[in-house]
Amino acid sequence: MKYIFETALPRPQFPHGLAEILLCLCFLQLFCVALIAHPEISVSEDQTTVIVNDAPEQDVIVIGKSVIVNKQAKGVLAIGGDVIVEGRVEGDVATVGGDVIQKENAYIGGDIIVIGGAYKPESQTPLREAGKQTMMIGVFEEELRNFGQNPSQIFAPSFSVGFLAQRVLVALFWFVISLVMTTIAPGAVSRAVARIQLSSLRISALGAAVFLLIMVLIVGGTLVLPNYLAATLGFMGTLLLLLGYVFGRVALQVHVGKFVQKYFLSDNNRSETLAILIGVLLWTLLLSLPYLWLIALFSIFAIGIGLILTGRATPKWKNP
């Protein structure tokens, strides 16, 4: 099975499967690479559209362009562009940040997945395989299309009024989450902050190793395990990552806030709420900085997972 990636840059070859597609997207964001096209697949003169002729054995994956299936393709995924089916697609058709347009007398044999767009059949009774599903999530259309056309923007987001408003809402959200967690589980948060102060290197090293192991297991499970086992493993790994991120971020926010209070504020400004607010604002700022936010994000996952794994093995710390 071959996957076809199209961008305007030089193109190496990638492997098989959904997990590899996700990995390829990450590599595209990091290194801006792409795969050379099949002879039956060409690019329009303006470099905005991939044209698929007779490629019945090809899964076509396109980054930053639209796709037109004139005759046949096995499956199509477009990120940052539309998928226009004029002939036959035997498998699934999906797009992120675009529309799926099924022309009159065109055939789609698999599921249709549209994120940030819409499914637009030109016939009232489009030719579809019985029992196949259509999923549409029509949110952030323009943002998803822009991201697909320029994946590198994730590393250096453009600052604007909308971006600033989003950061304010994110800070408010994490301030509320942190207040709730420190209220319902003050002992767990205070012990986590104490462990960060005493053994942050050991905790982060353990968390980073487990984080990488989880990612390898999720990808490996997708490749070699049956679907139901791969889905179960993926769900468990995602749940641990989510718990680690939430708990790690709350603990780090409280830790940073108390550190700032201790060394930079007077004794009259030593409240738990103020510490949380300071920590939330500083971490929101750090996670908004171009390129540095990736290091900050990885640190949160590593610290959070490390805190969860060492929680039972650590003795109870006494608060001063």
Do 132 and 167 reside in the same domain of the chain? no
For residue 139, is it within any domain?
A: yes
| In a shared domain, residues 8 and 140 | yes
Q: Which two tokens stand for residue 252?
A: 């780090």
Residue 317 lies in a domain: no
What is d(CA 237, CA 196) in angstroms, rounded to the nearest whole number? 23
Rounded to whole angstroms, how far apart are CA atoms 271 and 15?
54
Comparing 14 with 162, which gets the higher pLDDT?
A: 162
pLDDT at 135 over 50: yes
What pLDDT shows up at residue 152? Answer: 64
Verify that 55 and 165 share a domain, yes or no.
Answer: no
User: Do 166 and 264 belong together in one domain?
Assistant: yes
Tell me the C-alpha to C-alpha distance, in Å, between residue 42 and each of 3, 50, 106, 141. 14, 6, 20, 26
91 domain-assigned: yes
**Closest to 67 in 3D by CA, of 27, 104, 95:** 95
pTM: 0.63
Query: Which of 94, 117, 151 is at the close of a domain?
Result: 151
Shared domain for 187 and 287, answered yes or no, is yes
Q: 109 lies in which domain range?
A: 2-151
Question: pLDDT digits over 172-187, tens only?
Answer: 999 999 999 999 999 9
Domain boundary among 134, 151, 168: 151
Residues 6+ apart with CB under 8 A from 231: none
- Domain termination residue (choose one: 117, 135, 151): 151
* Residues 159 and 145 placed together within one structural domain of the fold: no
Q: Does 55 reside within a domain?
A: yes
Residue 18 pLDDT more than 50? no
Looking at the structure, do residues 138 and 181 belong to the same domain, yes or no? no
Indicate if the pLDDT at residue 30 is higher than 60.
no
Is there a single domain that holds both residue 126 and residue 179?
no
Q: Are residues 280 and 238 in the same domain?
A: yes
Mean pLDDT score of the chain: 82
Question: Does the residue 216 lie in any domain?
Answer: yes
Q: Do 134 and 178 sit in the same domain of this protein?
A: no
Q: How confident is the model at residue 52 (pLDDT cuts 50, 70, 90)?
A: very high
Nearby residues of 90 by Cβ (< 8 Å), 6 or more positions away: 56, 72, 73, 74, 75, 109, 110
Task: Provide the number of structural domains found in the chain.
Answer: 2
- pLDDT (tens digit per residue) in 198-218: 899 999 999 999 999 999 988
> Over the stretch 150-164, which tens digit does the pLDDT of each residue have?
766 666 666 778 788
> Sorting pLDDT into bands at 50, 70 and 90, what band is 136?
confident
Residue 17: its pLDDT value, please? 41
319 belongs to a structural domain: no
Please report whether residue 114 resides in a domain: yes
* Mean pLDDT score, 268-277: 87
Q: Which of 271, 249, 250, 251 is nearest to 261 (CA)?
A: 271
Tell me the per-residue pLDDT of 104-128, one tens digit each, with 9 for 90 and over.
Answer: 999 999 999 998 889 999 998 999 9
Question: What does the DSSP 8-state code read for residue 153?
Answer: G
Same domain membership, residue 133 and residue 162: no
Please indicate, yes or no, whether residues 114 and 203 belong to a single structural domain of this protein: no
List the Cα angle 21/22/24 in 5-degree steps. 65
- Is 136 within a domain? yes
Q: How far is CA 16 from the centre of its chain?
A: 20
